Structure 1
Amino acid sequence: MAEDQSLYAEIGGQDAVEAVVDDFYDRVLDDPLLEPYFEDTEMQELFAHQVQFVSAVAGGPVEYDGDDMEEAHEGMGITDEAFDRVADYLAEAMRENGVPEADIEAVIDDVAALRDDVVMV
């Protein structure tokens, strides 16, 4: 990644982030372990929040204004196994959409730092 260019710009900006998030949710919602977590979820709203979150993490011109991670996941009973699968699917979606491996690692490192706020069992 060029030093003066954000990860967001490097991976292709808004269109690329939306493609990754779309691919990511296809994978997540196809997983019998993860699908129940999303049964009562307004997916369009969640998609928009996820695009905003990934864009912000990647250094894009977007600020994440959703709930903090602990509040957003409170009471969901998310396990370490579920968290790991979500992270794996995010990495796979980025890889499938041409995000360079070093950039994938940077995003996954940021996601891993959220484990204690998301896993609550």
Structure 2
Amino acid sequence: MSQTIYREIGGRSAVEAVVEDFYDRVLSDEQLIPYFDGMDMDELRAHQIQFISSVAGGPVEYSGADMREAHAHLDIDEADFEAVGAHLETALRSNGVSDENIEAVMDEVVALKDPILGR
């Protein structure tokens, strides 16, 4: 993927805004809060900024732990994966990302569903 989406959405500052919005939404969701208990949120935000930048074609290599390994201890189910995805999509939309770019980012996220769910 070219750097087009990353540039179109406004680069790093836009990605940071999306990630802040995303975590505000996730951490306000009673269904999802238990997953974040005791987590280093600064570290998670940094990983998420890298991840979104990477899937949007930004000049960032995602250096986060392997997706399966990073999520294995959480025992995430399908409903929780979908809820997180919905919050990400809403955060992208509310930060002015176009439908076409949202779809491209979400396609990358959906491609990681099996490893995140440990399948």
Which TM-score band (shorter chain)? over 0.9
Match of 2:8 among 10, 30, 51: 10
Q: Are residues 1:21 and 2:29 paired? A: no
Q: Are residues 1:100 and 2:70 paired? A: no
Corresponding position of 2:79: 81
* Percent identical: 55
With 95-104 and 4-13 compared, the bigger mean Cα shift is at 4-13
TM (normalized to structure 1)? Answer: 0.94
Unaligned runs of 5+ in 2: none
Corresponding position of 1:111: 109
Task: Write the distance in 2 (CA, Å) between the matches of 1:93 and 1:32.
Answer: 17
Written as runs of structure 1 = structure 2, the 5 A alignment for 1:15-94 is: 15-94=13-92
The AA in structure 2 aligned to 1:98 is G
Task: Write the distance in 2 (CA, Å) between the matches of 1:54 and 1:113.
Answer: 14
Moved over 2 A (4+): none
Task: Write the distance in 2 (CA, Å) between the matches of 1:120 and 1:50.
Answer: 19
Aligned residues: 118
Task: Write the distance in 2 (CA, Å) between the matches of 1:47 and 1:89.
Answer: 15
Task: Write the distance in 1 (CA, Å) between the matches of 2:88 and 2:107.
Answer: 12
Listed one character per residue, the Cα deviations across residues 8-55 of structure 1 (whole Å, up to 9, x for unaligned) are: 001000000000000000000000110100001000000000000000
Unaligned runs of 5+ in 1: none
The AA in structure 2 aligned to 1:95 is R
Q: Quote how far apart the aligned CAs of 1:5 are.
A: 5.2
Is contact 2:12–2:53 with CA below 8 Å preserved after alignment?
yes
